[in-house]
Chain A
Amino acid sequence: AQSVTQLGSHVSVSEGALVLLRCNYSSSVPPYLFWYVQYPNQGLQLLLKYTTGATLVKGINGFEAEFKKSETSFHLTKPSAHMSDAAEYFCAVSAYSSASKIIFGSGTRLSIRP
């Protein structure tokens, strides 16, 4: 079985500051890991995903995440926050790459202070 825990339902950072959104997972098999972003009144958009290979994954809009098996973590980072990054972010895990088996975390709302 798979599960995801996102630490912090709301994170607020200043524009230009580092963004760090935390995600820990539990999986009985090697996981596939995803970060999705949801802008207000929109659907979800894939930011990045880890399936195999390099543990540091780069996504869109300057985001990246590192798969750390020893820590069962997949934290999302961005060196410099932009106002347009304000959104809801979901970490997700799957035992397969199939969309039907994706388990989503509770989400973290990112706010950017001017």
Chain B
Amino acid sequence: SAVISQKPSRDICQRGTSLTIQCQVDSQVTMMFWYRQQPGQSLTLIATANQGSEATYESGFVIDKFPISRPNLTFSTLTVSNMSPEDSSIYLCSVEGGRGRWNTEAFFGQGTRLTVV
């Protein structure tokens, strides 16, 4: 299994500002993923972060709004830029763990609960 630590666990931010969320994994992983969970809704994949290359964004998400860094195999950051109240969500970091095609699963951090006022 993988242990994932996210910081901060929660924050209240002013609109127009930016917040950087950190994700630390206790083992080296190839891919790290960032999800958004809007209030009362399910998880939506924002982007996939690979070490040494630019992140791959899903439809509806752009690098200018959600820049991602992946400096090494155990760490990633997601920045929520120029925030508005619509960005109020839980942001979760995830990694793929396990061995073999049939044993992989996704491990999640505890999430960052962001409120934009």
Contacts and interface: CB of A to CB of B under 8 A. Distances in A.
B104 interface: yes
Interface residues of B, number: 27
Interface in A66-114: 90, 97-100, 102, 104-107
Nearest to A100: B48
A107 B38 CA distance: 12
Contacts of A34: 105-106
Interface string B27-59: 000010100000001111100100000000000
Contacts of B101: 97
A73 to B, nearest CB: 18
A69 to B, nearest CB: 18
A44 B108 contact: yes
Contacts of B108: 36, 43-45
Interface string A19-58: 0000000000000001010000111111001011000000
A99 B102 CA distance: 12
Given A97-B101, A99-B31, A43 B106 contact: no
Given A43-B4, A43-B111, A98 B104 contact: yes
Q: Indicate the size class of the contact surface on chain A.
A: 20 to 34
Contacts of B83: none
Contact of A104 (B4, B43, B107, B113): B43
A107 B102 contact: no
Given A44-B108, A98-B104, A99-B104, A105 B42 contact: yes
B33 A100 contact: yes
A45 B1 CA distance: 11
Given A43-B110, A44-B92, A99-B33, A90 B43 contact: yes
Interface of A: 34, 36, 41-46, 49, 51-52, 90, 97-100, 102, 104-107
Given A42-B110, A43-B6, 9 more contacts: A43-B4, A43-B108, A43-B109, A43-B111, A100-B45, A100-B48, A102-B45, A106-B41, A106-B42
Interface of B: 4, 6, 9, 31, 33, 41-45, 48, 92, 94-96, 101-111, 113
29 contacts: A34-B105, A34-B106, A41-B9, A41-B111, A41-B113, A43-B108, A44-B92, A44-B106, A46-B105, A46-B106, A51-B102, A52-B102, A90-B43, A97-B102, A97-B103, A97-B104, A98-B96, A98-B104, A99-B33, A99-B94, A99-B96, A99-B105, A99-B106, A100-B48, A102-B106, A104-B42, A104-B43, A105-B42, A106-B42
